[in-house]
Structure 1
Amino acid sequence: MTPLQKNILAACKRRPQTLRELQNALQVDNSRLRSTVTAMVATGLLSAQNGQYVPGLATIENESAPETIPCTLVKLAARFGFASRDDGTGDIFIPGRALHGAMPQDKILVKLFDRPRVEGSAEGEVVEITTPHNSFAGTIVLSDDGRLAVEPDGCRDVRIILERNGHANAQLGDKVGAILTNRGERHVDHRAAVAETFGASDRAAECAKAILYGREVRQEFPEEVMAEAHAYDNAVIDPNEIAHRADLRGLPIFTIDSAETKDIDDAISLMKTQNGGYELGVHIADVSHYVRPDTALDKEAFERATSIYYADQVIPMLPTQLSNGICSLNEGEDRLAFSCLMQLDEKGEIHSYQFVKSVIRSRVKGVYKEINALMDGSNDPALMTKYKDVASQLPVMQELYEKRLALRQARGAMDIESDEAKLIMDEEGRCVDIVKRTRGVSECMIEEFMLLANQCAANAGRTHRVPFVYRIHEAPDAEKMEKLSATLTACGLNVHFKGEIPTQLELAAILDETRDQPIQIPVHTGILRSMQKARYSPEPKGHYGLVLKDYAHFTSPIRRYPDLAIHRILTDMLVGRPEEALVKDYTAFATHASEQSSRQEVAAVRIERDVEDLYKAEYMHNHLGEVFTGTVSGVTPRGVFVALDNTVEGFVPAAQLCKGEATVVEGVSIVDPFTGRRWMLGDPIRVQCAGADVALGRVDFDYLPM
């Protein structure tokens, strides 16, 4: 049920409503309201009585049925599992006897137990597997009785017995893709067969292939998609198309990305105006010109919804003929673009903007590292020659960025520190080094300019009252804020928020106060965990973290479907299609694109994070026995997580720290009740690398006294 449908139903439950009363109460577009109410009547959610609407039979029957919660099983161990609620409101603990054979990624219905769980989270039982997920990745192991079995990835001590002829020559320790051939009521009764063998489980690259298989990530494009993509082999711009566009090839437009980027979808231009203001152009690849609705390319892009980046690999949303070819804003090549041309005043505030279909030619492929060097005053002749056509823009860009940064800080936009890793690979695809990514001025500058274009896109959608795909970040709830207050108090901060929900300025002040301090990790991590997750929505709910009323994703249509979706909507707005036609054509589309893109974004982030852990374990496997000084980055009753300077994280068991049963205080420190010794998030700690399991993406440390 969409948010609008939920709001309509809630209003009609309070008392019968006419269309006018619903319009006044919900402040939604009249055409959209009418079409939504009509659909709800057709499906039985509403019933019309004497010109008023009341809950329909489908709603009444649904509410009288035993309450079950749609979930996805996300974690499985030998004696328990965790199900994630599909509405994103949290996880449910499932005891082993109540799993009834459910496997990771199964769509399930869960009924909650009446009793509360000791640890505080909800507990329940699987009552139905609505959509079974029968393919999974794992490692070949032996069962307790000596038969070949598969241990699914992330499911320690769960063994799925292989059929007698189902091992396909796989050997002990191999990473495989498997399929369930028979489901029992218990995991021990399941049977599986090997569908694909990837190789040894001590190679991160092979384990990564297994993860992609287990998550059903399609790496190759279907034939019909490639047939459409091949139409753009060695493609050039049609002169007739250029004639209908704003010709911006005379502007000193250029791109700034990392050196290895091949799918370049954004470029910039900037000039100072006579009145002290700025003309900023953000020029985005016009992917919507090539990927048309209802084509095989569009359907595949919708299903994927995002590109997936890991190690030195990419699984693109679009075939390379488009992503690295005709759509990529390559240096010296004429390219079709969708340009957001903004006028900003001398303070850096947006005064006006317009969107135009354009043709551009990037003067140079800028590289973050090189731009940072020039901004730091480098006189390297090679760099000065490379950037001679755009060098005059760099000081103006920095000037505008500093003004925008001041405005951002003044409104309380939060800057939460997080560590990103860059994996260094050898020719054989093994991880040989890990370095922490750093952001210089050019990275921050481009991010801010993209934010401006994204704001303008969202503002255009909202003010024209058309269906749209917004990027929203809702305010945190009071319960999470209570936990955050306890965390901050445990960190020694005397914090009192004026209201039940803190303002962004209050949280931003805490972030700044603790930045580069020993308690930065627990404070920044605590604030991050207290936030809602950003997602896509057809409703313009604003962005809490950025403190913006209007926000959408406009700037990366090569690798994100929401950006492509709103390019399509904005294009129809530019050619003057009536509002009624836009509402009719795009209302359902915006809803479906938002839901699919949010789902696929979460899946992609999990894949990228899990695969990165594999490569980190592979790197640490070559450093067994070495001693490191790290930082306590996580605290549990079982022990502590320790982060090294290179972002690798490993685990130290509580038994090595405490003589008695460890006590955890507000999730920020672990205390030995016998000695009183305390280890707090952010504390330095000396460890030795004791183990690195590539297949599990797990690193284990032994504690060493300082």
Structure 2
Amino acid sequence: MKKRKKKSVSLLNSNQILKFFATHSDKAYGLSAIKRKLQLEKIGDLENLLNQLEKKKLLEKVSPGKWVYKGLVASGKKQSEELLEGTVDMARAGFAYILCKGLSRDIFVSAKNLNGAMDGDYVQVRLIRLYMNKPEGVVHKVITRSKTQFVGVYRSYKNHEIVIVDEYPQVLEITVKKNTDLKLHDFDRVVVEISKWKERPSDLMMGIITENLGREKTTDMEMLSIIAESGFPLRFPQEVLVESENIDEEVKDLKHRKDFRKVTTFTIDPVDAKDFDDALSIQKNSDGTFEVGVHIADVSYYVKPDSALDKEALRRGNSVYLVDRVIPMLPERLSNELCSLRPKEDKLTFAVVFTFDENLTLKKHWIGRTIIHSQRRFAYEEVQKIIEGKKDPIKKDLDLLNNLAKKIRVERLKNGAIDFESDEVRFKLDEQGQPLELYVKERFDAHKLIEEFMLLANKYVATFMSYKNKGIPVPFVYRVHDLPDQDKLQDFMIFAREMGVKLDLSTPKKVAKSLNYLADIVRQNPDYQILQPLAIRTMAKAAYSPENIGHYGLAFEYYTHFTSPIRRYSDLIVHRILYDNLQAEKRYRLDALDAQCRHISTQEKKANEAERASTKYYQVLYMSRFLGKNFEGRITGMNDRGFYIELIATKCEGVLPMTEIPDEIEVAGNRLSANSSITDVEWKIGDKINVKVISADLDDRELVFGIAE
């Protein structure tokens, strides 16, 4: 806590510019006119902000250096005819906002106009009016449901049965029919699949109970609940398991594969991994060059399009990694056996093979199907010891790969890639699955070695596909990452400046350079640690799309995901498109790819949420033994409810409610600071604070703190 500073900094943001154009919509304005009208001391990054608003189709450049207000709708249609697509963001009060791609302003939809749409659904929305220059609409139809299954409490009454679901921000009542295959008791926790959705507020939502999780609150039940709540199935359908068991193991295309079975090849993975997606090979040529092969499990050879296996893999989208278990995208027969690049076994792979000269300069590359025979299965810790000096027959090869990876990394960062590393909390569990201790995962050069070669392979696959037909690009799945949010960057720059860190965020390249400078500061001084997650919050979320806009965070013009087809469906699609286009040209349907990209991006988000929920549950379970104990923490966030505190010793986060603070507190609009309305005390994100653990609520997966005595 610090005394409040009287001085404030005012910076221009895109909302101010948009408001200016909206109130002067009958005329075009240039830089000088805007500067004069808004009484700016200097133009600064005004042109950059105008270009961003033009990109979002909110302004239109009508002549060189002059812009005009374009309003909400980019087309010439009337607002009442315009159908836009977006994602529902529901408020607890029942209304919602529709987040539409390309629009900076969300569309308000009242509860009565949602027409059965729920939080996270992808919908068509029709604009009905602009009220106070803010768009309002009505949901025309639901395109894709975010969830089709829920976890709730079963209740049995005389004439009907229901499942009550506490689905933030709503409480749902789902009417169910008696399931004779399941033994059900009042207050059992169950999984229910929706059979009929509500279209009007008066409609009944109908469902079928598919799983009974029981009433005993165990760790296993909580993990199963998290999986089901996130929309992932708890088991594979029988037809999928049968199909996986009946896969023919015979290799029928061996003559069309490059044979690497006699080349030095190995895998490097976490010590407890079972699905080995990738392997590296290395061999020296007689001309002094050497080849590095990035070999990826050839899942597409075994999983055929539109098969039961393929449909289930698409449905899941990716594997889900919880604290104590993995929910695989593919059955174990494939993920841990047939496709996994286990040592001492011949395995089918899809590879990018790079040729480097003696100066570690990339000279050429080759893409195609291979067959390998991995000689070693390394854990990251084992490779790190060899890199640091431990004797091993493969040490020279590992040292060469490590030096090459470091060179590639330096070049990537020099080109504008952002070098952020966040702490990853892990747990050591006992035989009953209870947390014994909590630790932060170490990141070694061995991790970076693998990371750089995977990034390189992904980049060159995307580049190959983008150049396949420059005139009419071949539809493909890109991993894209947009530019940071300019307004969030401005708020962040002010906050960083108040902490004594000056950043230049005037252009995308300078943003990247400044954020890397910040990462270096954080590594040197832990007191600045809080700035890194705040910087990450200004970033856009990476996603899958057939429309390539590049990957800002990696500074790659072309990027995709090619290297993990056992656990990501995106990579499986990429393998299929790539193989079909190596020799000839095959064009996949763009609308189908777009729908698949949207689905797997949503599934990735759900998996991340499930993983966070799992970690949160175990953090609360671990901290429950410390009730009443005092800890030093750091403020990581704030809202009207309270401060979010991360304990420095355990990295566990909880809430310090406003009711536990003996003061009247007002949170700033940017939620980076708060002030006392009684005294001159100020709290800021990053401030240290001593707290006491007063509650560890496993039902809500929440730690609650009070002020330490």
TM-score class, shorter:
0.7 to 0.9
Q: Deviations over 1:522-551 (max 9, x none)?
A: 422232122221112223322111111221
Partner SS for 1:551: coil
Q: Cα 1:277–1:641, aligned 2, differ >3 Å: closer, same or farther? A: farther
Structure 2 residue aligned with 1:566, among 574, 577, 583? 574
Does the C-alpha gap of structure 1 residues 179 and 265 become closer, same or farther in structure 2, counting only changes over 3 Å? closer
Task: Count residues in correspondence.
Answer: 621
Deviates more, 1:503-512 or 1:191-200: 191-200
1:241/1:591 CA distance change after superposition, 3 Å? same
Q: Secondary structure at the match of 1:558?
A: coil
Taking only the aligned residue pairs, the percentage that are identical comes to: 31
Paired residues of 1:271 and 1:279 also in contact (CA < 8 A) = yes
The Cα shift of 1:331 comes to 0.7
Would the aligned equivalents of 2:79 and 2:129 in 1 still touch at CA under 8 Å? Answer: no
Aligned equivalent of 1:601: 604
Q: Say yes or no: does 1:222 pair with 2:237.
A: yes
> In structure 1, what is the equivalent of residue 212 of structure 2?
197
Which position in structure 1 is the counterpart of 2:704? 700
For the 8 Å contact 1:628–1:688, the answer to whether it is kept is yes
Contact 2:427 2:438 in 1 (8 A): yes
Counterpart CA distance in 1 for 2:621 and 2:193 is: 27
Give 1:651 shift: 0.4
- Structure 1 position 250, deviation (Å): 1.1
Give the letter for the 1:443 counterpart. H
Corresponding position of 1:513 = 521
Cα offset, 1:93, TM superposition? 6.8
Residues in 1 aligned to 2:670 and 2:79: alpha-carbon distance in whole angstroms: 40
CA separation of 1:298/1:267 partners in 2, compared to 1, >3 Å: closer, same or farther? same
Amino acid at match of 2:631: F
Match of 1:641 among 639, 644, 656: 644
- What SS does structure 1 have at the residue aligned with 2:348? strand
TM-score (norm 1): 0.78
Letter in 2 for 1:504: A
**Structure-1 residue corresponding to 2:254:** 242
> Structure 1 75/349 Cα, relative in aligned 2: closer, same or farther at 3 Å?
farther
Going from structure 1 to structure 2, the CA distance change for 1:673 and 1:658 (only over 3 Å counts) comes to farther
The counterpart of 1:664, out of the listed 668, 671, 678, is: 668
What amino acid sits opposite 1:621 in the alignment? Answer: S
Match of residue 266, structure 1, among 255, 273, 278: 278
2:164 pairs with 1:150: yes
Q: Deviations over 1:150-198 (max 9, x none)?
A: 2414447x364878989975455x5333467885955998788866431
Q: Can you list the C-alpha shifts for 1:228-256, whole angstroms capped at 9, x where unaligned?
A: 21123xx6553x54343221111110000
Task: Report how far residue 148 of structure 1 moved.
Answer: 8.8
1:329-352 deviation per Cα after TM superposition (whole angstroms, max 9, x unaligned): 001001111121102345544321
The 8 Å contact of residues 203 and 618 in structure 1, kept in 2 or not, is answered as: no
The answer to whether the Cα contact below 8 Å between 1:270 and 1:396 also exists between their aligned partners in 2 is no
C-alpha distance in structure 1 between counterparts of 2:507 and 2:130, whole Å: 33
Structure 2 counterpart of 1:551, from 559, 568, 586: 559
Please state how far the C-alpha of 1:271 moved relative to its aligned partner: 4.6
CA distance in 2, matches of 1:134, 1:596: 14
SS of residue matched to 1:571: helix
Alignment of 1:415 onto 2:419: yes
Distance in 1 separating the partners of 2:215 and 2:103: 38
Q: Please tell me whether residue 136 in structure 1 is matched to residue 144 in structure 2.
A: no
Query: What SS does structure 2 have at the residue aligned with 1:512?
Result: helix
Q: State the distance in 2 between where 1:205 and 1:153 align.
A: 21
- Look up the match of 2:397: 393
2:348 counterpart of 1:336: yes
Q: 2:279, 2:659 → 1: CA distance?
A: 54
Match of 2:541 among 533, 545, 554: 533
Q: CA deviation at 1:227?
A: 2.9
- TM-score, normalised by the number of residues in structure 2: 0.77
Contact kept in structure 1, 2:478 and 2:559, CA below 8 Å: yes
Give the partner amino acid of 1:138: G
Deviations 1:661-683 (A, max 9, x none): 33337422222232333332222
1:295 aligns with 2:307: yes
* Letter of the 2:275 counterpart: D
- Could you tell me whether the CA contact under 8 Å between 2:416 and 2:513 is conserved in 1? yes
The answer to which of 557-566 and 192-201 deviates more is 192-201
- The aligned counterpart of 1:360 is 372
Amino acid at match of 2:650: N
Match of 1:280 among 270, 284, 292: 292
Residue in 1 that maps onto 2:428: 424
Change (3 A) 1:124 1:345: farther
Q: One-letter code of the match for 1:678?
A: E
> In structure 1, how many angstroms separate the alpha carbons of the residues matched to 2:310 and 2:197?
36
Paired letter, 2:700: L
**One-letter amino acid matched to 2:380:** Y
Q: Give the Cα separation in 1 of the matches to 2:155 and 2:702.
A: 18
For structure 1, the 5+ residue unaligned runs are 1-58
Could you say if the C-alpha distance between residues 170 and 622 of structure 1 is closer, same or farther in structure 2, counting changes exceeding 3 Å?
farther
Alpha-carbon distance in structure 1 between the residues aligned to 2:136 and 2:221 = 36
Unaligned runs of 5+ in 2: 1-73
Between 482-491 and 530-539, the greater mean CA deviation after superposition: 482-491
Per the alignment, in what secondary structure is the counterpart of residue 482 of structure 2? coil
* Inter-CA distance 510–642: structure 2 relative to 1 (3 Å threshold): same
Q: Secondary structure at the match of 2:683?
A: strand
Following superposition, the deviation at residue 553 of structure 1 comes to: 1.1
Q: 429, 435, 439: which one pairs with 2:439? A: 435
